[in-house]
Amino acid sequence: MALSKLNELYGTKFEQMAIRDHADHPRHAGELTQGCVIDLNNPTCGDVIRLTVDFTDDKISEIAFSGHGCTISTASASMMTDLVLGKSKAEVLALAELFSQMVTGAKVDKDQLGDAQFLAGVSKFPQRVKCSTLAWNALKKAVQTDNHTAEVKEAHA
């Protein structure tokens, strides 16, 4: 990929540094001993995530992820976990929808997304959208699962 194309994907130097920092030093990495466990994979590129979410009074009280993936997938999961900790289920679903709209090219208020707004350039590379949304789709499944001690495993196409 040409350097100019990479700059489109990773944005400004500041944005590039933030993405790289989240990918190299992911926040909330690991697994929780309790909570809803969601395993998703992206069969087109091999990214795999295990997201564990614990809810208290309709809010995310703890969240962690593990697995392996590309820079975009890992950075997105790290950014997401930072953003949603302490948020209600309704807030989380709204943020997940906003993120999905952003990475598919819609004009949105990116400021609500914290560091995740730095992944807006993904919209110019449709093959990377699934990488960026893998963790967010796992989170939506966790929020929508009635039994929050459930374990859900499936492919994300």
Q: Pick the residue with more confidence: 35 or 153?
A: 35
The 10s digit of each residue's pLDDT in 78-132 is 999 999 999 999 999 999 999 999 999 999 999 999 999 999 999 988 889 999 9
Q: What is the mean predicted confidence (pLDDT) over 123-143?
A: 94
User: For residue 125, what is the domain's CATH number?
Assistant: 3.90.1010.10
Phi then psi for residue 47, to 5 deg, are -65, 140
Question: Angle CA(122)–CA(126)–CA(129) in degrees, nearest 5?
Answer: 60
148 compared with 56, residue with greater pLDDT: 56
Q: How confident is the model at residue 13 (pLDDT cuts 50, 70, 90)?
A: confident
- Does residue 58 belong to any structural domain of this protein? yes
* Any domain includes 2: no
Q: Are 5 and 120 in contact (CB under 8 A)?
A: no
131: in domain? yes
In a domain, 57, yes or no: yes
For residue 91, is it within any domain? Answer: yes
Q: How far apart (Å, rounded) are the C-alpha atoms in residues 51 and 49?
A: 6
Inside any domain, residue 53: yes
Output the pLDDT for position 83: 98
What is the span of the domain harbouring residue 128?
Answer: 9-155
Name the residue among 27, 8, 4, 55 with its Cα closest to residue 115. Answer: 27
| Mean pLDDT score of the chain | 88
Higher pLDDT, 50 or 126: 50
pLDDT at residue number 145: 86
Q: Is the separation of the CB atoms in 53 and 36 below 8 Å?
A: yes
Alpha-carbon Rg for the chain, nearest whole angstrom, is 15
- The SS3 assignment for 109 reads coil
Residue 17 has pLDDT above 70, yes or no: yes
Show the DSSP H helices in 25-150 as ranges: 71-84, 89-103, 129-144
Does residue 1 lie in a domain region?
no
Residue-level pLDDT at 8 = 53
- The answer on pLDDT for 2 being more than 80 is no
pLDDT value for 151: 58
For the purposes of burial, counting CB atoms within 10 Å of the CB of 29, is it exposed (0-12), middle (13-18) or buried (19 or more)?
A: middle
Percent of the chain with pLDDT over 70: 86
| Assigned domain for 31 exists | yes
Mean pLDDT in residue range 133-155:
78
Look at residue 148 in the predicted model and tell me its pLDDT. 55
In total, how many domains does the chain have?
Answer: 1
